[in-house]
Amino acid sequence: MEKLTKEEVLHVADLARLKLDENEIEDYAYKLKAIMDSISLINSIEVTDNEMTISPSTAKISLFKEQENKTISKADALKNAPNKIDPYIYVGGSIDE
């Protein structure tokens, strides 16, 4: 049974912002390959039209009017934050001191 290389699995995991342990890498090597094989079938399909459909919506899509709207309260915004220092959501540092 064919599989992806470890490097390929780690590459796609990085794109998806995931980290995998060794068992997962081995398991996904087979399963991701099986899905990619299924996906690759579209390369053999011929379409004559170059038009694309991104959404089936037929709604006339316009931008929201520029106007002042009611926003959520600070208490609501903070309600589900796992780490907070009221009235802020805590985000870990991204630059070393």
Partner 1 sequence: MSNYLDLSLEEIHTLLKNKTIKPIDLVNECFSKIEKNKDYNCYITLNKEQAEAKAKELENVPVSDDLLFGIPIAIKDNIITKDLKTTAASHMLYNFVPIYDAYVVKLLKQHNMIIIGKLNMDEFAMGSSNQTSYYGPVKNPLNKDLVSGGSSGGSACAVALGMPFLSLGTDTGGSIRQPSSFCGVVGMKPTYGLVSRYGLIAFASSLDQIGPITRTVKENALLLNAISEKDSNDLTQEGKKEEIKITDDIDLSKLKIAIPKFYLNDKIDKEILNKFNEIKSLLTSKGCQIDVVDIKYLENSVSLYQIIALGEASSNLARYDGIRYGYSTTKFTDINDFYKATRSEGFGPEVKRRLMIGSYLLSGANAKVYYEKALKIRHAMIEEFHNVFHAYDYIIGPTTTTLPYPLGANNDDPNKSFIDDILTIPVNMAGLPALNLPIGYSKDNLAIGMQIIANRFEENKIYNLANYLEQALNLGGKHE
**Smallest gap from residue 24 Cβ to partner 1 (A):** 8
Q: Residue 87: is it exposed, middle or buried by C-beta count within 10 angstroms (0-12/13-18/19+)?
A: exposed
Give ∠ CA 33-42-30 in degrees, rounded to 5. Answer: 5
DSSP letter (8 states) at residue 80 = T
Residue 26, both tokens: 């081995």
Q: Which of 3, 6, 12, 29 binds partner 1 (CB under 8 A)?
A: 12
Site for partner 1 in 15-74 (CB under 8 A): 15-20, 24, 27-28, 31-32, 34-36, 38-43, 45, 47-59, 61-62, 64, 72
Told to check if 88 binds partner 1 by CB under 8 A, we report: no
Q: How many CB atoms lie within 10 A of CB 8?
A: 15
Q: Which residues bind partner 1 (CB under 8 A)?
A: 9, 11-13, 15-20, 24, 27-28, 31-32, 34-36, 38-43, 45, 47-59, 61-62, 64, 72, 76, 79-83, 89, 91-94
